Amino acid sequence: MTATAEEAPMTAAQETMAPTTERVDNVSAAAYRIRHHALTMGEVQGQGYVGQALGAADMLAAVYADQLRFQAANPEWEGRDRFLLSTGHYAIGHYAALAEAGIVPVEELETYGSDDSRLPMSGMSTYTPGMEISGGSLGHGLTIAVGMALGLRYQGSTARVYNFLSDGELDEGSTWEAAMGAHHHQLGNLTAMVDINALQADGKTDTVLRTEPVTEKWESFGWYTQRVDGNNMAELLRAFDNAAAQAAAVGRPSVILCDTKVGRGVPLLEGREKAHFMRIEEHEWQQCREQLTAGYEGRASR
């Protein structure tokens, strides 16, 4: 999809049938490359939010390789769909997706978190092309998304707004102010995607502040709510298709709740004690890459 992205905007799929095998394979390949990019960036720092990036890679691939309308050569294109990264520390995953999308050069990823880089550890719109907002202070993204969706609709734009947030951000009251606001204003052009990796800075989400039942919460706030395995590409694409099919200038906002696994795709990290800020030893990076490749090729050959 990235090759065509430079010439013409991509169009969101409208069907709600199961996605074709070819489509699932193409987006899965993008997710695989995003994971490798994330490992490359993680190795530069020697540690970091690699676990989150690997867990969210399928969600990011579904957005950038399948759903989002954008022009890689012109990230400011007025007609683009907006993708708002609320969780600033997921920038490592977002940069990987921007590289996959052709918005950031792949070779620039090595500057991640270095002095004078356009790719700081916590994502900011003022630093990086394709980054719509400065996230990081959690619970902001969905409030900005509400204003953006209202502003675009008021100006007659058909662009859609996607907000990526984490289950930890469901702790923040502002997220629910925005959830009410989106429903009140009937923002059918807004889709929230929640990465439910069940992990927060101080531990597992259910030990920090219980957010479940998450599905019922969003439903009761009036949102079109779907919950899927966020590491199952066919399920993810089906959910995005359903969201796209009911998207409208005036209508229900949509949320896709994605259960994901921290470190997904690298068994060494999947099995490691879960940590917000994962430590990976110098000799382990190559092992991570080999496991990622073996797992992907193993699945692909089945």
Partner 1 sequence: MSTATAVTGTASKGTAPKLKTSAMIASFADPGQKTASAPFGHALVKAAQENDKIVGLTADLGKYTDMHIFAQAFPERFFQMGMAEQLLFGAAAGFAETGLVPFASTYSVFAARRAYDFLCLDSAEPNLNVNIVGGLPGLTTGYGPSHQATEDMAIFRGMPNLTIVDPCDSIDIEQAVPQLAASEGPTYLRLLRGNVPTVLDEYGYTFELGKAKVLRGGNDVVFISSGLMTMRALQAAKALAEHNVDVAVVHTPTIKPFDAETVLAEINTDRLAVTLENHSVIGGLFETVASAVVTAGLGKKVVPVALPDEFLDAGALPTLHERYGLSVQRIVAKVLAELG
Q: By the criterion CB under 8 A, which residues form the site for partner 1?
A: 82, 124-126, 132-134, 136-137, 139-140, 142-152, 154-155, 157, 173-174, 177-178, 180-181, 184-185
Distance CA 97, CA 62 (A): 10
Nearer to partner 1, 116 or 154 (CB): 154
Nearer to partner 1, 46 or 79 (CB): 79
Q: How far is the CB of 149 from partner 1 (least distance, A)?
A: 7
- Which residues are CB-contacts of 252 (< 8 A; sequence separation ≥ 6)? 183, 186, 188, 222, 223, 224, 246
Q: How far is the CB of 119 from partner 1 (least distance, A)?
A: 17
Q: How far is the CB of 122 from partner 1 (least distance, A)?
A: 11
Main-chain phi, psi angles of 193, to 5 degrees: -125, 120
- Which residues are CB-contacts of 116 (< 8 A; sequence separation ≥ 6)? none
Q: How far is the CB of 126 from partner 1 (least distance, A)?
A: 6
Distance CA 157, CA 271 (A): 45
Q: Which two tokens stand for residue 193?
A: 């995607």
Q: How far is the CB of 226 from partner 1 (least distance, A)?
A: 24
CB 261 within 8 A of CB 197: yes
Can you say how many angstroms the Cα of residue 223 is from the centroid of all Cα atoms in its chain?
19
| Burial environment of residue 273 by CB neighbours within 10 A (0 to 12, 13 to 18, 19 or more) | exposed
CB 48 within 8 A of CB 42: yes
Nearer to partner 1, 127 or 285 (CB): 127
Nearer to partner 1, 177 or 270 (CB): 177
Nearer to partner 1, 43 or 132 (CB): 132
Q: How far is the CB of 144 from partner 1 (least distance, A)?
A: 4
Whether a cis peptide bond, with omega within 30° of 0, leads into 19 is no
Nearer to partner 1, 180 or 294 (CB): 180
